[in-house]
Each structure stands twice: as structure tokens, then as C-alpha cells.
Structure 1
Amino acid sequence: MNMFSSVMVAILGVSPAIASVLSSRAVPNNTLPSGTNPIKVSSAQFLGNLTADNSCSHRDLGFSGPINGVWYHIFGDTIWCDTGVTDPNLDPGYGPDGVPGGFVPFVRDSISQSTSNPLKVHDLHLNDNTPVPHQNQFVPYDKSFGEAVDTGFGGTSLCETNATAGEAAFFYLVAPNGAPSKGAGVARISTAFGTPTVEARFGSQGYWWDAKTSPRYGDQAAYRDTQGDYIYAWGGAPLSATGEATRYVYQTRVLATQAFDLTKYQYWYGRATGWKTTPLTTFNEETAVMAGAGQGQVVYSNYYKTYLFVHTDLFHVLIRTAPKPEGPWSADVIAWTPTKFYSAGYIYAGVAHPYLDTSGKTLTVSYTNNPNVNDVVKITFA
């Protein structure tokens, strides 16, 4: 009889047989913080708002990823500024707190190229509006998938699959406005003609993992491991999950060279079992990798020699660490607390920009100050 059974017998007075059954039902809680978080913040400096050098809009998200050494950012809802406006802060269509005053044109996602200036991106796929062009959709809605112009769509980081060919995988979530999420999917992105372009979306309905029965892989974060050969994707629980399991984050991975073949994906079953090619169907504290995490981005720190998960809890920018992408993950360290919130009163989508300092001594992070303002802060580690 193991320790758990012995305790049950001593405290509850149950028989060894019943205690044995209870013991067999107990599973380890792999969502609890583990280890020591080495992050020590020396200082954090607010830099300003992230805007474009060739267009003008209000937008959120902005998850980043490189293709053949060039970094790109995928933004979510992208709301065009009024005709001729070159500074989002001076857009007459918006109130003083950043809330739109009426209907304005928008696209559900857009792509930009990074620059050496942490406060500037260069927008791509622009239309021919004058005197200021605006963004076209990066991943257009597809009528053959039952999508319409108002179909919700959220994407996370680009994950390079073939640098020589200029190819990457892009993870996203299809979530119709006012309705439950449909599913999580992957698109193949190519720079063969110079600008990242969607070549294909996979799955009969435009996604692979049905949100009713599968985690929303990639919606929490997606990462091409710079220390190995895999792409990792994290996602929240399926709609079928109940109880505490709905708060947990689950994980899949695939060799970067096989990212467009669903049969090659592996699923995390917990520390005792590890990776299996059979899709996960049991959702609990054993098969999950973490809890209490906001949408964010994973990077490898050359300074701390460990993995960082940058995310938010609505009021702070947080960083947790792990020796491997599958964890175990430490407790969070608060890296930054904004002093200004807009009318909605919260922040989300922590995005790391490691290309601005490859030494890892500093880390520039952007986040969405709801609604649709991208704040940027530079964190210096001790």
C-alpha cells in the first residue's frame, strides 16, 4: 500500500481496498509551478506605442516570428484610420480613450515587417487608398469554409519550417463572432514572391482541431524552437472539457519539416507518459502543461539559458520559465505593470521581440492595451 493509501486509511478510516481504488484515481498535477524562476528585473522602461511607418491603423495582437532571418508580426483586428490620417492618436474617428466613435473599415488580421525601431513596423499587403494606403487581410475569409467577413479569426506566431524556401507555418483560431470557437488550424506561408503570402489552409473546414473535442492548439502560443527541430503549440481546453480542466493549457508539437502533415503531430500526455501520436482526449491536471496563463509568446533566453513564456494576466506583463518547451514551468515574475489603462481597463497578448537584443540582457515586449493600442516596454534583466 503506497503513501496515499496509508494516509487515507489513517485519516478517513477507509479500508485498504477502498484506499487502493482512490489512490489509482489520483493523478499528478502538472499545472502547478515547478522549480525556481531565475528572472530578475533590473528596470522596465515604457517606450511608447507601436505604429507603422507607411500606413495608419488601430490594431491588437502583433505576434512575431522570423522567416529566413526577417521578422514579421501578425496583428488581429486592424481598424483603418480615417482618410489622410497618419497618426492613430489623431484619428478623429476615435475618442480620447481609443474607442471608435462609429463604424470604420477594418480587416480581421494583417501582417507587418519588423524594423530596428521598437516603435515602428512596416505594413505589408497594402491597398491603393490615397493619400494613406491601408492593410488588406493577411488571411482572407474563405466562403468555401463557411466563413464570412465577420467571422472571427485570431492568429499567433509565424513558425519557420524551411528557411531556404522562405516558408513558415501560421497557427490560428476560427471563432465566429457571438458563437463558440470552431477550431484551431495551420496555414502554410510562403515568401517565394517577396512578401509573406498564404499558400494554403488545411482541413476540410479550414482548421484541423475541432474546438468541441480538441484543445485550441496554437491559440495560446506557437513557437519554433531555436534549440531544436520542433514547432510547439499551446492551446486552451476544448469546449467539451469541464471543471478545472477548462483553465488548463495543453500542448502539441511537430518537426518543423513536417508541420503541414497532421499525422505527424505529437501530443503531450504528461510527464509520466510524455509525447504520443494519438490525439489527446483526456483533459486534466496531468495532461495539461500549465494553468493561469494568458495568450503570449515563448522565446529562448540566451541570457538565462532557459525558455521564457511572456504573457499577461490582464493587469501585468508576466514571465515564467522552463528548461524545456514542455515544462515544467515556474511561477510567474511580474516584469511590468502599466500605469495607463484605457476604458476597457485591461491588457492582453504579451509579445516578445528578441531580435532587438540577441544577447537576452534586455527584452522588448509589446502588449495590447485594450482597445487596439499596442504599448511597448523594454525590460532589462539583472
Structure 2
Amino acid sequence: MRRLLQKVLDKSQKAPTQDAPGSTASEITPQVMDGVGTGSEAVDNTQAVGTNPIKISSVQRLGFQNASNSCSHRDLGFTGKIAGKWYAVFGDTLWCAPGVKDPAQDLPGFHGMVRDSVSLLTNDPLTVVDLNLNNDSPVKHQLQFVPFNPAWGETNMYGFGGTSLCETDARSGTGAVYYLVNANDAGLIGAGVAKVVVKSGTPTVTQRYDGTKGHWWDAKTTARYGDVAAYRDERSEYIYLLGHPPSTITGWLAASYVYMARVRATDAFDLTKYQYWWGRQQGWKTKVLNVFTPETAVMWGTGQGQISWNAYYGCYVFVHLAIGGGTVHLRTAPAPAGPWSGDVQVYTAAPIDGGLVYAGVAHPYLDASGKTLVVSFTNNNHIEVIKVAFTK
């Protein structure tokens, strides 16, 4: 369907270029076009390239993931490592009723919530240890991970959709978390980054950037970097960020493209050090991307997901549930910026009470060989978990 709405894919490959520093994120004006390229041909860098090597031996549904020391319903659950330990960052975390220890036994009604939370992952993908807990009795509940700041006009109703923790310095136990600021009625405001330091075993947000409004990338003018995925590539120096186009770009087709930025992990808290992907024909530039087309995008129609390196196949794997959700997909690439292959469908979930199924999450730490991959996803505020076994 999408191919019918666009011009012919131009497969020409040119050497990437590096621009001198350009305009800042707040100064750019977004542009969306049918396609750009040489002559009359349009370039679509989101079309599948190559052969996906993934072959499925078996898929096992493991069950639902819950905390061993708290009780809540939650969504998202992106995984990330800091100083050798893996953590999950969840989105909306709905507390269960006071005293309830099993989410399946929760009572009707609203019992309190936070807009995001953090947990320690374990060797059992069905069990996490909730961190940053309050003093509720007899069951403690999670406090908010990315704090709201009244000085920036934020309230406890603001949403902060965080992605994976990305290690910046293992020795000091420091990492970055990327998040999307949602002002509810006012809509999406922007995407930002916060410094995270592991204190007494708990990842703690110690500073949010920028200090005047709480985010770096304005949602009206800039891609929402990090709202699809954030990935600390252990095979390079970089953190890679995937995000949808500015909120001013509307329509199902145009709004479903995904754009990419990167930064050396050691420079994650310096906005001037970020680079932006302008497509395979132009490569990485320090100029902030302001042309949102199939040429400058890396993917289309994936929804939120997660990248990991797979040693078994020797490539990067992106886990996602596509538009509409429900089915887990895996696609592959030789590098985080692609080109990405077509998808292999892995598993289709039955929506709980007709709810949404979304946000694919990889748990690569459970099998370093890459012969299996545990995947979790949100099924109507339940974290459902499967285990995929591969073959060649």
C-alpha cells in the first residue's frame, strides 16, 4: 500500500558526508515532501533491503511479568544496562489497591499511579524487583522515575515516556534516559534526556536537560528522538535514538516514518555533539534534521520497539509490534542505521479485554549466544513474555 503512494525506490548509494555545525533544534522549520533525490526519482530508504536471516525453531509463551516486592499494572518496559546490571523503565505504572500483592487479584477502581518507573531485571524474565519505592504499607509502590518540575510548568499529570537506560560511564554507574514530555491536553511538548546515576543499587535521575524547559527537541519542529527506541550500541561508541516526526506532520502515512540521531555515549549530555541521519545518500550530519521524507527516514510503521545485537546471526535485530500491534515482528540490519530487512512475524497475542498490544522489548542479557531471544510486550497494561528459539 505504501509503495503505491510513493515513487520508485532509488537504490543509488553515495558516500556519507559530514556537515559543519548547523542550526539548533529550536531554530529549524520542518518540511515534509513526497520524496527527494536526483532527477525525478524519489528515494525511499525505508523499503526492505536484503534477506532476513531469522528462522524460528520454536516460540514459547512464558506468561506475565510481575514484581517480587510490589504490585502494579504497567506498560512499555524497555531494557537497558548500567555497570553490568540490567534495568527496565516502564511507562504509566498503576498501583494496585492497598494490600494487594498479586495484580491478578486487584480490586476495581483507581488506586494511584506514576507516569514512569524503574525496576531491576532478574534471570527470570517473569520477575522484576521494583526500585524507588514509597512507604505505603503493607505493600510499597513505585515512585516516579523521571520527575516533573513545576518550574517548567509541569505537573504530576504530565507524562514522561522513557526508553532504555543507555550507559555512558560504567565506572561511575552513570547512564542516560531519553523521554517524551506529554502535557496531556496541550499534547506532546518535546523529547529530552536526563542523567541517571545508580545510587545504592537504584538508577536515579540527577539532572534533566535543558534547564529552561525540560527538553531539547521541540515536538513541533524536530523528530521526537527516543520515542521509538534508544539503544546503547556495545559494538561502537554510540547511542542511537529513533523517533517519529514532529507533531505538526500529520496523516497516517507521513506520521509513521521513523528518524534517527546518534551521539557518542560520553557526550550524551552535550546537545552540540549529536548527529542526525539524513539518509544513506547523505549520511550523518551535525545539522539538525528538518526534512522529513522517506529518504531521511530509517523505518516506517514500526511503533515502539528495541534494538539489540544478535551474535548467532551476526546482525542487529529490531523487535517491534508494527502499527496496530498484536503481532511481534523481528527485522535485521548490519548497522543500527540500516538498511533494514523485511520483518519475520514471530507471535500474535490475544488482546486482554480487547485492549491494546504494543511496545516490543528485547531481553538479550538472558542468552549472550543469541540462539534464543526473550521478548516482552504490553498487553492492556500487562507485560506478556515469550521466548523465541532460532535456527539456521
Same fold (TM over 0.5): yes
1:7 is aligned to: none
Given that residues 153 and 176 in structure 1 are in contact (C-alpha distance below 8 angstroms), is that contact kept between their aligned partners in structure 2? no
Match of 2:60 in 1: 45
Whole-Å Cα distance in 2 between the matches of residues 242 and 347 of structure 1? 23
- In the alignment, is residue 369 of structure 1 matched against residue 379 of structure 2? yes
**In structure 2, what is the Cα distance between the partners aligned to 1:82 and 1:239?**
36
1:319 pairs with 2:330: yes
Hey, what does 1:221 align to over in structure 2?
229
> For residues 25 and 187 of structure 1, do their structure 2 counterparts lie closer, same or farther at Cα, with a shift above 3 Å needed?
farther
Superposition deviation, residue 217 in structure 1 = 0.2
* Higher relative contact order, structure no. (Cα contacts within 8 Å, ≥ 6 residues apart): 2
> Whole-Å Cα distance in 2 between the matches of residues 219 and 150 of structure 1?
19
Report how far residue 346 of structure 1 moved: 3.1
- Aligned mates of 1:113, 1:281 — CA distance in 2: 38
Report the equivalent of 2:306: 297
Distance 2:234 2:42 in 1: 32
Considering only aligned residues, what root-mean-square deviation do their CA atoms show, in Å? 1.5
Deviations 1:172-226 (A, max 9, x none): 0001223321100000000144321101000121110000000000010000001
The code of the aligned residue for 2:351 comes to F
Structure 1 contact 222–233 (Cα < 8 Å) conserved: yes
Q: 1:124 to 1:242 in 2, by over 3 A?
A: closer
Amino acid at match of 1:334: Q
Residue 24 of structure 1 aligns to a residue whose secondary structure is: coil
Residue 246 (structure 1) shift: 1.9
Shift of 1:25: 4.9
What is the rounded CA distance, in whole Å, between the counterparts of 1:57 and 1:367 in structure 2?
16
CA distance in 2, matches of 1:135, 1:337: 30
- The answer for the alignment partner of 1:236 in structure 2 is 244
* C-alpha distance in 2 between matches for 1:356 and 1:216: 30
1:91 counterpart (88, 106, 119): 106
Cα deviation digits, residues 67-97 of structure 1 (max 9, x gap): 011000001111111111110001122xxxx
Question: 325, 333, 351: which is aligned to 1:341?
Answer: 351
Alignment of 1:8-27 (within 5 A): 24-27=39-42
State the distance in 2 between where 1:318 and 1:103 align: 33
For residue 24 of structure 2, what is the aligned residue in structure 1? none
After TM superposition, give the deviation of residue 29 of structure 1 in Å.
0.6
1:122 equivalent in alignment to 2:129: yes
SS of equivalent to 1:170:
strand
Give the whole-Å Cα distance in 2 for the aligned partners of 1:52 and 1:22.
Answer: 50
Map 1:143-158 onto structure 2 (within 5 A).
143-158=150-165
2:243 is aligned with what amino acid? G
Map 1:128-139; keep pairs closer than 5 Å: 128-139=135-146
Which of 72, 94, 113 is 2:120 aligned to? 113
Q: Is the 8 A contact 2:37 2:43 kept in 1?
A: no
C-alpha displacement at 1:266, in angstroms?
Answer: 0.2
TM alignment of 1:212-291, pairs within 5 A: 212-241=220-249, 244-291=253-300
How has the CA–CA distance of structure 1 residues 321 and 104 changed in structure 2, closer, same or farther, with 3 Å as cutoff?
same
SS in 2 for 1:343: helix
Identity of aligned residues (%): 56
The one-letter amino acid paired with 1:297 is Q
1:287 partner amino acid = T
Runs of 5+ consecutive residues of structure 1 not aligned to the other structure: 5-20, 94-101
1:11 corresponds to? none
> CA-to-partner distance for each residue in 1:311-336, whole Å, 9 max, x for gaps?
10212011111000000011111111
Q: 1:357, 1:47 → 2: CA distance? A: 16
Give the secondary-structure state (helix, strand or coil) at the position aligned to 2:39.
Answer: helix
Letter of the aligned partner of 1:172 in structure 2? Y
1-structure distance, mates of 2:248, 2:68: 44
Distance 1:155 1:367 in 2: 15
